[in-house]
Structure 1
Amino acid sequence: MRSGLPDFRLGAVLATSFTGTLSERHGDAVERIPTPQRLVDWLSVYDLTVDSCTTTQLELARELRESIHAAATAAATREPLPAGAVQVINDCSTRGRAAATLTPEGKRQWQLGPASPLDDALSVIAADAISIIAGERDGRLALCASPTCQAAFFDTSRSRTRRWCDMNTCGNRQKKARFNANRSKDPS
């Protein structure tokens, strides 16, 4: 943890990992990108390196994050996508000019332009959200079974029956709560 800030909760899917920068939405919410520098730090973890971020850009990033969360939640529950959320995602997607390039190791890498690298990074995140919400990738959107979390996550497990956004946090917390509840019921 850097300077007392909460650790990032990282996942394999860019868009849903981005929504995880605000966790415990239905409990004591934890903001994991409270400052512009923390957004820069988070983006660098996903190889979307930008030099700086303004407070206004951080607000735009949070608006995108909440729009992705709203649209992914609606998709997971098979409800209509919120029009405002769709508009924000589309606007961010079309605002950037990032280009996908192939590394010598055969991996995709994003090239962000010099004019507006943060817009380019948000564009990459928005495009990733579009691909999962539109059902273009192998997996399914689901909501975390933790009553305090309920984060949208992309389930790529073989059976598509994953219950937790992250087994190391929400899953273990729920298992521990069940264990303690059962222990308190046992009088022996």
Structure 2
Amino acid sequence: MRTGFPDFRLGSVLATSFTGTLSERHGDAVERIPTPQRLVDWLAVYGLAVDSCTADQLDLARELRESIHAAATAAAIQDPLPASAVQVINDFSARGRAAAVLTPEGDRQWRLSSAACVEDALSVIAADAISIIAGERDGQLALCASPTCRAAFFDTSQSRTRKWCDMNTCGNRQKKARFNAKQRKDPRSAK
């Protein structure tokens, strides 16, 4: 990874991990794909290697990201899906020329068009978003309990009661805040 940029918050669900490239949406927002090359890096981590990315393609990626976030948030709180977000997701899904292929190890891998273009990679992300928002996969959309984050994430825990988009960041931050508040209230408890 390139230094000087915030780390990626990697997850196992492509679409919600993509929305996580903008974190702390209700606090001091952290943009994790600030440059076209950084989007290339993120896509490569998820097996969607592209040759290059332009500033216009980065803008398209951010449009898709925000549409997925809006639709996933609505789905998580059981509100109607925003029509504009649905349209953007559908348009991106239909644009690409990516194909799912089976590897010799029995895994699914995405093959992008010969140009390995950003639009193909974005179509895969849009299709993944459709799959989770439509409820086709085992799990449910939820919102991070952190008041500064509120990221949509896909909860696949057995009880479907996960509270944090990422336990190592938002969850840990909240646990620390509770601990510090308890220490201020009763300084003797540190002993």
TM-score (norm 2): 0.97
Tell me, what secondary structure is at the counterpart of 2:165? coil
Whole-Å separation in 2 of the counterparts to 1:19 and 1:164: 14
Whole-Å separation in 1 of the counterparts to 2:176 and 2:100: 43
Whole-Å separation in 2 of the counterparts to 1:78 and 1:36: 34
What does residue 47 of structure 2 align with? 47
Is the aligned partner of 1:11 residue 2:11? yes
Instruction: Compute the RMSD of aligned alpha carbons.
Output: 0.9
Whole-Å separation in 2 of the counterparts to 1:20 and 1:62: 11
Whole-Å separation in 1 of the counterparts to 2:87 and 2:29: 25
Which runs of 4 or more aligned residues in structure 1 lie more than 3 Å from their structure 2 counterparts after TM superposition? none
What does residue 104 of structure 2 align with? 104
Tell me, what secondary structure is at the counterpart of 1:100? strand
Q: Which moved more, 1:151-160 or 1:114-123?
A: 114-123
In structure 2, runs of 5+ residues without a counterpart are: none
Tell me, what secondary structure is at the counterpart of 1:172? helix
Structure 1 residue 118: deviation in Å?
1.0
What does residue 148 of structure 1 align with? 148
In structure 1, runs of 5+ residues without a counterpart are: none
Tell me, what secondary structure is at the counterpart of 1:120? helix
Whole-Å separation in 1 of the counterparts to 2:85 and 2:71: 6
How many residue pairs end up in the alignment? 188
Whole-Å separation in 2 of the counterparts to 1:136 and 1:168: 28
Structure 1 residue 117: deviation in Å?
1.9
Is the aligned partner of 1:170 residue 2:170? yes
Output aligned runs, 1:1-188, within 5 Å. 2-115=2-115, 117-188=117-188
Tell me, what secondary structure is at the counterpart of 1:132? helix
Question: What letter corresponds to residue 30 of structure 1 in structure 2?
Answer: V
Whole-Å separation in 2 of the counterparts to 1:10 and 1:143: 17
Structure 1 residue 168: deviation in Å?
0.5
